[in-house]
Amino acid sequence: MYRIIRIIHLIAGLLTAPVLFMYSLSAIQMGHHTWFRLAPAVREQRFSSDMDCHDPRALAASLMASQAWRGELGNIHATAGGCSFGIDTLGTWREIQYNAATRSLLVRTSELPAMALLNRMHHAAGLWHPSGVFRMWAAVVALAAVACAALAGTGIWLWLLRKRERTIGLVLVTANLLFSIVILILLRSG
């Protein structure tokens, strides 16, 4: 039984390590944002379109297919001269404005640098996204969360099986729990 729990503990640790490392890097970036270049690289392009803006979703689908873009469609608005919408991925945001008079599209693309992308990944939430990349990342985070719980549970179980380390382990667990409670109270009270 000890050997099986140790193997589960090892696998859980290996599964959580890359995701926890990514979260620690993005937490450093959030705490010390002046250390990193976070401004996106922005470029503009113009396209002509045979379609109109009566159905912005169809226009977006046509544009995404012709340019081989992926992402989530959002921020759809009717404007006086046409419409506007956005196409969002973890690292790229495209703002598209359609001008009905000229039948043209102005595409403003913002691409995030690596550290800003990590920040975006840190804040990505939910499991149900139209984008396959978003869904894949959500599944990785969910798997890492389960593996992290398994890591903690098997770690405590392994610690309980080792009689010589129980005292120091109890001191460390108690100190960690008290520290966490104090931090939560301080954060909650402002």
Nearest by Cα to 121 from 30, 6, 1, 47: 30
The pLDDT value given to residue 95: 92
- What predicted TM-score, i.e. pTM, was given to this entire model? 0.61
* Helix, coil or strand: residue 127: coil
Domain boundaries, the chain: 2-35+118-189, 41-112
Distance of alpha carbon 103 from alpha carbon 178, whole angstroms: 63
The pLDDT of 9-28, averaged and rounded, is 88
Q: What CATH code is assigned to 41-112?
A: 2.20.25
C-alpha–C-alpha distance, residues 124 and 143, integer Å: 15
Structure tokens at 112: 């995030």
What is the band of 129 on the pLDDT scale with cuts at 50, 70, 90?
low
